[in-house]
Amino acid sequence: MNLIGRIFENKYQILDVLGRGGMSTVYLAKDIKLQKLWAIKEVSVSTINSKSNLMAETNILKKLDHPALPRIVDIINKNDSIYIVLDYIDGVSLDIQLQEDGIIDEKTVIDWAKQICDVLDYLHCLKPNPIIYRDMKPGNLMLTRLGKIK
C-alpha cells in the first residue's frame, strides 16, 4: 500500500519512499509531535515465510545497542503488514557513493572497513546467541554525512 502523504497511526506523517526491496518498502516519516524523522519499514505478511519468525527476528533486533545499528523504536502489526519504525539514517547507501566517487582513497576505505568490522564483531560476540549477518553488501550500508558507516 502506498502511504505517501498519509498520517500513519495518528503519529507519523509519511513523506516519501526511501527504498523498495523484494519483501519490503521503507518510508521516510516525521513524528507529528516530536518533529523527528524516522524510517518505517513495511513488510507484507504475504511475502514472508512465517510471521512469527519475522516478529522473533524483530524482537531480537530491537535489543541491539551499537552506534552503527539503527534503533528499532516501534513495531506495528496492521492490515496484513508489519511496520518497523527505526532510526532514519541521513546519508547515502555505500553502493551509490562508490558509483559516484569511483576510486576511494586507501585511508577512507580502511576507516570504513574498521567500522564494519566493529559492528560485525559486536553482532558475532553477542551472548548467548551470536548474530551472523548474511546480507553484507554496499547497498545495505549507509554512509552518513559525517563519514560514519551505519
Which positions are catalytic?
Answer: 135
Distance CA 82, CA 91 (A): 25
Burial 77-101 (b: 16+ CB within 10 A, else e): eeeebbbbbbebbebebbeebbeee
Q: Among 4, 8, 5, which residue's Cα sits nearest to residue 17?
A: 4
Q: Among 66, 16, 60, which residue's Cα sits nearest to residue 37?
A: 16
Distance CA 150, CA 135 (A): 14
For 30, the grid coordinates are 516525521
Q: Is the peptide bond before 138 cis (omega within 30 degrees of 0)?
A: no
Distance CA 124, CA 7 (A): 38
